[in-house]
Amino acid sequence: MANAAELLDTLSLVDCAAAIAAGDVSAEAITRAVLDRIDRFDGQFGALLHVDREGALATAASTDQARKAGAALGPLAGVPVTVKDLISVPGMPLTAASKILRGYEPPFTATVARRLRDAGAVIIGKNNLDEFAMGSSNENSAFGNVANPWAPDRVPGGSSGGSAAAVAAGYGFGSLGTDTGGSIRLPASLCGVVGIKPTYGRVSRYGVVAFASSLDQVGPLALTVDDAALLLSVIGGHDALDSTSATEPLGDLRSGPGSLEGRRIGVPREFLDDAEGLDPGVASCIRGSIDALKSAGATIVDVSLPHTPLAIATYYLVATAEASSNLSRYDGVRFGHRATLAQGEGITDLYERSRGEGFGPEVKRRIMLGTFALSSGYYDAYYERACRVRRLIHDDYVGALKSCDVLVGPTSPVPAWRLGECTDDPLAMYLMDIFTTGASLAGVPAMSVPVGTTQNLPVGLQLIGRHFDEETMIDVARGLEKALNLGVQRPNLDALADESKP
C-alpha cells in the first residue's frame, strides 16, 4: 500500500476516496496520518477545538472491514473531514467558540453531519471559528486565534478560519463551514482553498447554531473544485427538518465538462475598475484570471451592481438584528454558562452576569447594534430600511445574471493581513466583507477559487451564480481551474516549522 503520510500532500478528496475504495490505501492508515499531522502542527495553527481520535479510528476501521467484505461504499467512505464547531455532532462538544456554550454536548445530529456520515466520511473533529461565526479573521474565538498555514503570522480569514486552515494544513481532505456574509469564501481565499456558499435554502441548517437566520448557509471547503462539488452533492438537498429548506433539485454537480466555450462571464465594475481599497496584487491576479477565462473561450461582459456601496451597511444591520434575536436564548437558564449569584440577586442579575461572562466583545457589540436597530423608534429608520435596500441589492444580482452565466471578481480586497492588525478597528474589519456580503443578501450561490498569489499569499477569485444554479457556477470554476492548470496545493508545514525555530 502507498505511504499514507505522503498522500496527504498529493491527493485530492476525490482521489482519496478512489484510493480507499480500490484498496490502494486503508482508511485507518490515512486517518492515522491525519491525526499525526494534527498532533505535530495544530499547536501552532489552532484550527481545531476538538479531535475525536477514538471515534475517527473506529469509523475508519469499520470502512476497511466493509471494503474487504465487498460491501457497497459511500462516496466519501473512509475520507477524513472536519466540521465547523457550529454543527451538532453527537459525542462531540458544541461550543460555537464561546464560553457561554463551554461543556455543552448536543443530543441530536445536524442534517449535514448525518449526511456526511451516511456517505462514509470520517469526521475527525470540530474546527475553531470566530465566536458564533461573528468575525472576518478568526481572532474572536474564546479559545484562541487561528493562524494561516501559509504564513503563521497572518489571519486565515473568518469566521470559518479553522475549517479553511484545516483543509490547507492537511487535517483531512475537506471541511464544512458556514457562510453568513462571506465566512466560507473569505477564509477560502486567504488560505488558498475552494469554498462554496450555496443558494440560500440549498443546504439544511437543522442542527446548526444560528447567527442570522435569513443569511446563514452551510457549505464545503476543499482543495479542488471537484472536491467541493462532491461534498456539496452529499450535504445538499431538501430536508423536512428545516423550514427554510428548498425543494429545487440539486442537479449534477460532479460531471460537468468544464468547458468555457460560449460562457458569458460578467465582471461587475464595482468589484474591479471602480473598487476602492483593492490591493494591486489581488487586482492583478483577478485580471489575469479573467484573461484566462477569455482565452479559454468565454465572453467577458461588463456589468454593474450599483448598490454595492450599500451592501456592508445593509448586511451589518440585518445580520446584527437577527443575531440579537437568535442569541437571546442564551440566558443562563436553559443551557450553557450559568453565572453564580450572590444572596438576594434575581433573574435579571442571572441574565446579565451569565451573558456578560459568557459572550466575548465582538458578540456583545453585534447584539447591542442589533438590539438598537430593532428598538422602538429606530426600527423603521434602520432595520426596515435595510430590508428595503436588501431587495434592491437582490434585484441588482438577478438583473446582472440575466445576461451572464456567472459574475466574477475578487473574494477579498487584500491578501491575508497580520494577526492583530485590524482587531482595534472593527470598521476596517467589516470592510473586508465588501465583495462577499452582496451575494449573501441576494441569496445567490457564490464560491471562491484560488487563482494565484501576491506577496507569497493566496488570492481567491469569487464566482457568483444564479439562484439554484450551482451546477453552472461550479462548471465555470472547473473550467477556470483547468485554464490556470491548478491542482492540489498545500503549504510546506515542515519548512514553516523550521523557519519558526530560533
Q: What is the pLDDT of residue 23?
A: 96
**CA terminus-to-terminus distance, the chain:** 38
Query: At which residue does the C-alpha cell 478568526 appear?
Result: 138
DSSP H or E segment with residue 3:
none
Who wins on pLDDT, 376 or 497? 376
Single-letter residue type at 425: D
Q: Note the pLDDT tens digit of each residue in 25-49.
A: 999 999 999 999 999 999 999 999 9
Q: What is the pLDDT of residue 500?
A: 53
Q: CA 332, CA 347: separation in Å to the nearest integer? A: 9
What would the mean pLDDT of 64-82 be, rounded to a whole number?
Answer: 97
Q: CA 57, CA 28: separation in Å to the nearest integer? A: 6
Q: Give the model's confidence band at 357: pLDDT under 50 very low, under 70 low, under 90 confident, else very high.
A: very high
* Omega prior to 159 cis, within 30 of 0: yes
Identified catalytic residue from 12, 137, 159, 204: 159
Q: Give the model's confidence band at 486: pLDDT under 50 very low, under 70 low, under 90 confident, else very high.
A: confident
Single-letter residue type at 147: A
Identified catalytic residue from 141, 160, 183, 440: 183
Tell me if residue 68 is catalytic.
no
Q: Note the pLDDT tens digit of each residue in 279-299.
A: 999 999 999 999 999 999 999
Residue 262, classed as helix, strand or coil, is coil
Q: What is the pLDDT of residue 6?
A: 85
Q: CA 398, CA 236: separation in Å to the nearest integer? A: 22
What would the mean pLDDT of 419-440 be, rounded to a whole number?
Answer: 95
Mean pLDDT of the chain: 95
Q: Give the model's confidence band at 487: pLDDT under 50 very low, under 70 low, under 90 confident, else very high.
A: confident
Who wins on pLDDT, 489 or 142? 142
What are 221's strand-pairing partners?
Answer: 175, 195
Q: Give the model's confidence band at 499: pLDDT under 50 very low, under 70 low, under 90 confident, else very high.
A: low
Tell me if residue 325 is catalytic.
no
* pLDDT higher than threshold 50 for residue 502: no
Burial 313-322, CB ≥16 within 10 A → b, else e: ebbbbbbbbb
* pLDDT higher than threshold 80 for residue 56: yes
Tell me if residue 159 is catalytic.
yes
Q: Note the pLDDT tens digit of each residue in 200-222.
A: 999 999 999 999 999 999 999 99
Identified catalytic residue from 12, 26, 84, 98: 84
Q: What is the pLDDT of residue 344?
A: 85
Q: Give the model's confidence band at 501: pLDDT under 50 very low, under 70 low, under 90 confident, else very high.
A: very low
Q: What are phi and psi of 463, to 5 degrees?
A: -115, 135
Q: How far apart, in Å, are the Cα atoms of 173 and each of 160, 216, 244?
A: 16, 23, 29
